[in-house]
Structure 1
């Protein structure tokens, strides 16, 4: 029986409320700033905590671009959001697909040096993109993949972490299940498609959320492989809005930041149940 301690419960709720306030307050400030004019934000007076009356105007300007009252040119954010969405989905789906197949091969196929192959994959955790960025950029450039979706996504698709997680899960699958599938005449691919993939759906959901956010927040790699504004993701769009003009339209920058936060937040909210279950499922 769990002992109830009202004081401890109140303290834990206060700590949680404080944590939520610390996280949410900067986002609220950005939202408030996006509803005001650049002149109001740049004035010497403290920023008002009450939303202004320029919400629709600012977000329309951020999405479709145009000229501001100060004469600055604003690049549209909508194409950047599309580039980020395509890249995030490609990276997330690609990582999961490749990791599922590689883990399946390592666990259920017998071939020479199988253990060495797994550890070679695992060692790549010590070689992130930032470490091998020079040779990776040279390969992408030589293959003519600059300013393309392939150049933005293919070097980031392989994932040793996801391979390791799926391998550990596949090792927990009872051998009796494998034998039953073999007796029923199921081949390797059918066993993979009809048994392993459905059993891994919670892990897939959890990894999809993590990898989607990872792909959405990419900054350094797109900064290197994109020179055309048509292929800028939204993170680079924020950087361009801040450093591209002498006079920064902070209301548009904050609106762009809010727009950039929405898709990952929507993915987390919609898949929260599956995400938590995939991380703490007792069946694993």
Structure 2
């Protein structure tokens, strides 16, 4: 009995130490975000005059109103809308194309299907930054500069998502496909009624990752948009930093940074359970 009590005590001590380590790590991660939030609620003078306050000030509404409805080239609210359209388009486009590509590679027998899969997989070595000049020429040739289609379409192909869906489809028992065929289900009916529901957690996990990927895009939007009304929020934050001897409006910059974090946080929190299951569960 004494040994068992000692084991429980050791386990309890280890549990407390684990939680203590997690709390300390969380404080290290959260403290810069807290400082940014505090800076977005005070005046310019309070930020530039040390020491910087650690508690929120009384300028919350004023600073966030200025951040949302004013900007260097376009209102922040409009830039957030552009980023939302781009992130949703990229995430949904990548998932749809990858699902259909993986379905075709796994369930349809055609000459060279393995070759096509490995060609898709090899594109992982050619990110947008490597092929940005020819991609820009193609987009410009189709007249998609300064448009949502130009922001979205060149980025919706995803070798990673195709690979992940292919690997998952290969774990689906062949008996399911055979039973659907016996029941007279067409290939797309099998895909829609069986494979798609089974892939729900995978789709959720990829959606979270791909939404954040699209939301944080900077180089591609910077290259193909010259109209200020097409600026994204990441571009807007960079444009708010002064050049030369100008003074930065730090409360508005910090408020814009906090606003830019809200949509990705909402996506992660709202899909957290499916996201974790999609990454760690062996049975989807």
TM bucket by the smaller chain?
A: over 0.9
Whole-angstrom distance in 1 between the partners of 2:242 and 2:98:
38
Is residue 74–residue 241 contact of structure 1 (8 Å, CA) maintained in 2?
no
- 2:41 aligned with 1:35, yes or no? yes
Change (3 A) 1:161 1:74: closer
Partner of 1:23: 29
Is residue 205–residue 271 contact of structure 1 (8 Å, CA) maintained in 2?
yes
Q: 1:119-158 CA distances to partner (integer Å, 9 max, x unpaired)?
A: 0000000011111111111111222111110111111100
Partner of 2:194: 195
Whole-angstrom distance in 2 between the partners of 1:93 and 1:50:
40
CA apart distance, 1:228: 1.1
Change (3 A) 1:74 1:111: closer
Is residue 62–residue 74 contact of structure 1 (8 Å, CA) maintained in 2?
no
CA apart distance, 1:20: 0.6
- TM-score where L is the length of structure 1: 0.94
Partner of 1:69: none
Query: What number of residue pairs does the alignment pair up?
Result: 277
After TM superposition, the structure 1 = structure 2 runs for residues 72-91 of structure 1, keeping only pairs within 5 Å, are: 75-91=74-90
Let me know the Cα RMSD of the aligned residues: 1.6
CA apart distance, 1:75: 4.2
- 2:241 aligned with 1:242, yes or no? yes
* Structure 2 gap segments, 5+ residues each: 1-6
Change (3 A) 1:183 1:4: farther
Whole-angstrom distance in 2 between the partners of 1:74 and 1:262:
22
Is residue 74–residue 229 contact of structure 2 (8 Å, CA) maintained in 1?
no
Whole-angstrom distance in 1 between the partners of 2:161 and 2:60:
41
Whole-angstrom distance in 2 between the partners of 1:212 and 1:180:
36
CA apart distance, 1:74: 7.6
Partner of 2:63: 58
Query: Comparing 241-250 with 151-160, which one deviates more in the overlay?
Result: 241-250
After TM superposition, the structure 1 = structure 2 runs for residues 132-281 of structure 1, keeping only pairs within 5 Å, are: 132-243=131-242, 246-281=246-281
CA apart distance, 1:2: 9.1
CA apart distance, 1:172: 0.5
Whole-angstrom distance in 2 between the partners of 1:39 and 1:236:
26
Partner of 1:49: 54
SS in 2 for 1:145: coil
Is residue 146–residue 226 contact of structure 2 (8 Å, CA) maintained in 1?
yes
- TM-score where L is the length of structure 2: 0.94
Change (3 A) 1:281 1:3: farther
Partner of 1:6: 12
* Structure 1 gap segments, 5+ residues each: 67-72
Change (3 A) 1:143 1:208: same
Whole-angstrom distance in 1 between the partners of 2:170 and 2:242:
50
